Structure 1
Amino acid sequence: MTATALWSRRVGRVAVVDITWGPAFVVVALVSAFVGLVLGAGDDLRRWLVPALTALWGLRLAWHIRGRAGSGEEDPRYAELLGDGGFRVAVRKVFLVQGVAVWLISLPVQASGVTEVWSWWLVGLGVLVWALGMVFEVVGDAQLAAYRAEPRDARPPVMDRGLWAWTRHPNYFGDACVWWGLWIAGALASGWLPGLLTVVAPLAMTHFIRNVTGARLLERTMSQRPGWDAYAARTAYFFPRPPRRRVG
């Protein structure tokens, strides 16, 4: 986050932190794996499995948002957060906060590097939950990109196809699944105590992307679009379900 803050100051955009958010977890995962290796702790297979899963998620996310966050004007979310404050305000309100968040949310990844596997079937279950999350993220983002590529007068005002017909936020739901999967595979699979001590990580991730910085914040803007009320009435907010029948 220190390196990101310096990059942000050079380019004049705080939004570059969105690009380094995913890779920051990759760094934590690799450091944790090497710490376990040096200490002779943990299981060799899972020591590298969890960083590999983390890297697939984090680097894909960085690649996906690189254009939006790395060029153009400042993201309105950060502009509103910072107000008239300068670089020092950005350090305090953005980079420091996100650094602490990376440490907190990555607790299961840290645990995976230095603890022994208690249950391999829980490792497998965690990988399946992670994979479900990745499908929702990748497919949801691809469907949204295809929608945006259509001419404005040929597409509905609100994206309501594919996964977007089952949940208004398939990418955020996928994000939550990824971190519940990493918690299951990286911490709960080591026993109930590591699982209990680190469950705050997926809980915090789910809470923030659902109720604070992710879906809730996005809906403030999206709710102004024509057709949004009807779409919201038939489509689940976060957890997927079959869409309700259209009325009228």
Structure 2
Amino acid sequence: MIGLGALVAITAGVTLVAGAATFGVARLRGRYDTVDTFWGLGFVIIAVVAFPFGSGPLSLRLVTAGLTAVWGVRLAVHLHLRNHGKPEDPRYARMVAAAGDRAAARMFVRVYLFQAVVLWFVSLPVQFAMYGGGLGLLGWIGVAVWLIGFAFETVGDDQLRRFKADPDSRGKVLDTGLWRYTRHPNYFGDACVWWGLYLLACSTWPGAATILSPVVMTFTLARGTGKPMLEKGMHLSRPGYAHYVERTSGFFPLPPKRLTPR
């Protein structure tokens, strides 16, 4: 058993090594979208590393590590299958083309190293929860929030997968199921997952102080590289997307607006 300060230093080192190793795999594969799979698995690695060192109750550590692992493995498998057999992600392809001869170094710093740092910072509630005082009321509320988020993310991803697999959906906009109430049920669910894990860390004041971690995750999804970048491409490829945006909530699930005919 080690102190919390030593743990966060260890996980920082492990995360950087894992990120560098993933970059090596990406170079061998010739595909920089390998980092997408690393995103989910990186959190699993941190949870597994942190679990045996924590001084908190075994029940809290098991719940925290288990929920993190279930979410991370599902996301990693989903993203790997989504990318498999398709060309390189256009985002990374554009970055490589713009960087020219310095593409490898720029991708390592701007994508892999940066993502490793963000991953470690977002995972702080998971690490601090390993030193928590117990589940308690906030912890069980956190589990409930996690379950809501995981359901939104999993069901939303599956609805989108089936929609894309239907040839009749070409050029159309998915506006049924969870997508009727929010344009990004998977991103909303992702944010809920991390607010739930944060609540598991709130049995101690140091754990509660990690609130910036779920804030950063939520901001990234809603205002950073998540929702805005995706919607920019959708406006160009889906003619009906603008009307969908007008009537559908951008992030939090809400009943669709009734628009008056023009």
TM-score (norm 2): 0.87
Pair 1:200–1:32, CA change in 2 (3 A)? same
Q: Does 1:205 align with 2:217?
A: yes
Deviation at 1:102, TM superposition (A): 1.2
Query: Of the candidates 166, 172, 186, which is equivalent to residue 171 of structure 1?
Result: 186
Q: How does 1:179-198 map to 2 (within 5 A)?
A: 179-185=194-200, 187-188=201-202, 190-196=203-209, 198=210
**8 A Cα contact 2:43 2:119, kept in partner:** yes
1:51 maps to 65
Letter in 2 for 1:75: D
Q: How does 1:26-105 map to 2 (within 5 A)?
A: 26-36=44-54, 41-82=55-96, 83=98, 84=100, 85-105=102-122
Letter in 2 for 1:179: W
Q: Does 1:162 align with 2:177?
A: yes
Total equivalences in the alignment = 239
Q: Find runs of 4+ consecutive structure 1 residues off by over 4 angstroms.
A: none
2:12 maps to none
1:135 maps to 151
1:245 maps to 258
Q: CA offsets per residue over residues 40-66 of structure 1, 9 Å max, x none?
A: x11111111101000110000011111
**8 A Cα contact 1:108 1:182, kept in partner:** yes
Q: Distance in 2 between matches of 1:2 and 1:90?
A: 11
Q: Secondary structure at 1:19's aligned position in 2?
A: helix
Q: Secondary structure at 2:117's aligned position in 1?
A: helix
Q: Secondary structure at 1:212's aligned position in 2?
A: coil
Q: Distance in 1 between matches of 2:127 and 2:85?
A: 33
Q: CA offsets per residue over residues 170-225 of structure 1, 9 Å max, x none?
A: 0000000000000001x11x2344202x0010000000111111111100011121
Deviation at 1:155, TM superposition (A): 6.7
Q: Distance in 2 between matches of 1:26 and 1:233?
A: 38
Q: Distance in 2 between matches of 1:16 and 1:130?
A: 26
Q: CA RMSD in A?
A: 1.5
Deviates most, 163-172 or 70-79:
70-79
Deviates most, 65-74 or 11-20:
65-74
**8 A Cα contact 1:19 1:66, kept in partner:** yes
Q: Distance in 2 between matches of 1:175 and 1:222?
A: 20
Q: Distance in 2 between matches of 1:43 and 1:142?
A: 35
Q: Secondary structure at 2:258's aligned position in 1?
A: coil
Deviation at 1:114, TM superposition (A): 2.0
Q: CA offsets per residue over residues 12-36 of structure 1, 9 Å max, x none?
A: 1110110111011011011111111
2:129 maps to 112
Unaligned 5+ segments in structure 2 are 1-18
Q: CA offsets per residue over residues 133-161 of structure 1, 9 Å max, x none?
A: 01101111111112112223x67711100
**8 A Cα contact 1:15 1:70, kept in partner:** no
Deviation at 1:244, TM superposition (A): 1.1
Unaligned 5+ segments in structure 1 are none
Deviation at 1:88, TM superposition (A): 1.4
2:242 maps to 229
1:124 maps to 140
1:220 maps to 232
Deviates most, 156-165 or 65-74:
65-74
Q: Secondary structure at 1:138's aligned position in 2?
A: helix
**8 A Cα contact 2:132 2:204, kept in partner:** no
